Amino acid sequence: MEYAVEINNLTHYYGKKKVYENLSFKIPKGSIFGLLGKNGTGKTTTINILNGFLKPKAGECKIFGEDSYKLSPQTKARVGFLIEGHVQYSFMNIKQIEKFYSRFYPKWKSEIYWELMSKLKVTEDQKISKMSCGQRSQVALGLILAQDPDLLILDDYSMGLDAGYRRLFLDYLKEYAHSLNKTIFITSHIIQDLDGFLQDCVILDYSGVVMETSIDYLKNNFHGYVFKTEDENVELRKDEVIKNYEILKNKITVYSFASAEEVQKYLDEKGIKYFDFEELQMDLEDAFIGLTGKY
């Protein structure tokens, strides 16, 4: 299998503060891959290392087989990068900025840019500075897609976007990637938007990698169960069966890859008396919270 991105045993610190140690994952060409985690878990750090803005303390990052800190101009031209905040030349209008960017990219495809601009309901002479955050994000996306990159790296794309613009952003991006066999690497802490968009992901918490998995496997095999107990001194711990849990008075929620029958057997063996046991309906965000916790 060919990989667009390979990250091997990546370790980074800011001073004495550890971001993570031995982070490893691979992104196959043509896939849509997410790096998911709460704020402060190292998502943007990973993006900055991958783009050569930071040099890791240890480990390596490769893009199309090259060290990300020493990318050749040819490989750099294959990568489109959307930085957090959608930085642009805000004094330009959408026609001026398209013309400006097009001079730097030999494979520039104006039709992709203007197809997306047609959805924004803005005039060609409207300056970027006068647009909403959602409109500016679509301009940024259009400029990246028109470069015709093989790999798109998007860091927390959703900053300041309302639900409609987030949906437009991802719907357009998904269709573009699938139709042209592009690779997308996206980071986000807003998980619900990515359900139905991502194929595979790595989930981070403050201690490092929680899990690397396909979205289908996670949604089909990770479960939440809730039950009540009259025991005021219930003791649970994370182990092979219970991956996480929450206790709120006499109501307990546990998260597990085990079936309902296996969890009930586990509770019986631990001597935990329970009643009103039921399985929760879980989406991707519920699974993320179940793995990483609410706090």
Q: Is 63 helix (H, G, I), strand (E, B) or coil?
A: strand
Rounded mean pLDDT, 171-175 = 87
Mean confidence (pLDDT) of the chain = 89
* pLDDT-above-90 percentage for the chain: 53
Report the first-to-last Cα separation within the chain, whole angstroms: 37
pLDDT of amino acid 41: 86
Helix axis angle, 163-180 to 133-146, nearest 10° = 10
Q: What is the pTM of this model?
A: 0.88
Q: Tell me the per-residue pLDDT of 54-67, one tens digit each, with 9 for 90 and over.
A: 888 999 999 999 99
Q: Say which residues have a Cβ less than 8 Å from residue 12's Cβ, sequence separation at least 6.
A: 18, 19, 20, 42, 45, 49, 54, 56, 57
pLDDT of residue 159: 62
Torsion sign (Cα): 124, 129, 130, 132? positive
Residue 96: which H helix or E strand, with range? helix 94-102
- Count CB-CB contacts under 10 A for residue 81: 18
The 10 Å Cβ neighbour count of residue 247 is: 13
For residue 186, count other CB atoms closer than 10 A to its CB: 26
pLDDT tens, residue by residue, 272-288:
999 999 999 999 999 99
Cβ contacts of residue 107 below 8 Å, gap of 6+?
Answer: 77, 147, 148
Q: In which residue are the tokens 């009259």 written? A: 230
Strand partners, 80: 152
**Which residues touch 247 (CB under 8 Å, ≥6 apart)?**
234, 236
Residue type, 136: R
Mean pLDDT (whole number) for 149-175: 81
Distances (CA, A) of 220 to 168, 214, 215, 283: 27, 10, 8, 10
